[in-house]
Amino acid sequence: MASVNKVILVGNLGRDPEVRYTANGSAMCNLSIATTFNSRDSQTGERREETEWHRVVMFNRLAEIAGEYLRKGRPVYIEGRLRTRKWQGQDGQDRYTTEILADQMQMLGGRGDSGGDFSGGDYDSDFNQSAPQQQRSAPAQQRPPQQPAPQQQRSQQNYQASPIDNMA
């Protein structure tokens, strides 16, 4: 039987991205994203806002882009899958963490939002469209033309095992 493990988040970054590099040179980025749910108390009629925090992990080029362009407070769209991993704390006890392994990201908001100098863009398409203005005006011969990856290649790239997959 087929199954689905898909997460879509639209929220705000709770802190600046943390980018690190593995021993083999692969980039890894950790994000903390807040989403809110608004409701009304059925007895008092008061509005309530519940905030949920999500751990998000990105790898490779997506991690580098997030580290360069995302900042605390910026709105962001994330697609990925849920993963729970097991690790041992300093006290020797087993601990579990559930996180989202992101394979797509779109920066939301415009230049006027709190944060970097970009207009937003979808990483899966042509990232150059969301580069800062001074980079867009650079001569074409200084950077090779980029084309979106064929769908088949993209799905293979998204399935690559991450360094964390081997930690459990």
pLDDT in tens, 126-158: 333 333 333 333 333 333 444 444 443 333 333
Q: Which residue has the higher pLDDT, 51 or 1?
A: 51
This prediction's pTM:
0.62
Check if the beta carbon of residue 149 is closer than 8 Å to that of residue 122.
no
pLDDT exceeds 80 at position 66: yes
Fold of 7-162: OB fold (Dihydrolipoamide Acetyltransferase, E2P) (2.40.50)
pLDDT above 90: percentage of residues in the chain: 59
Q: Where are the chain's structural domains?
A: 7-162
Backbone angles phi, psi at 76, to 5 degrees: -150, 150
Quick one: pLDDT at residue 122?
Answer: 42
Q: How many CB atoms lie within 10 A of CB 93?
A: 8
| Average pLDDT score over the chain | 75
pLDDT above 70: percentage of residues in the chain: 65
User: How do residues 1-33 score in pLDDT, each as one tens digit?
Assistant: 899 999 999 999 999 999 999 999 999 999 999
Record the tokens describing residue 7, joined without a space: 């997460």
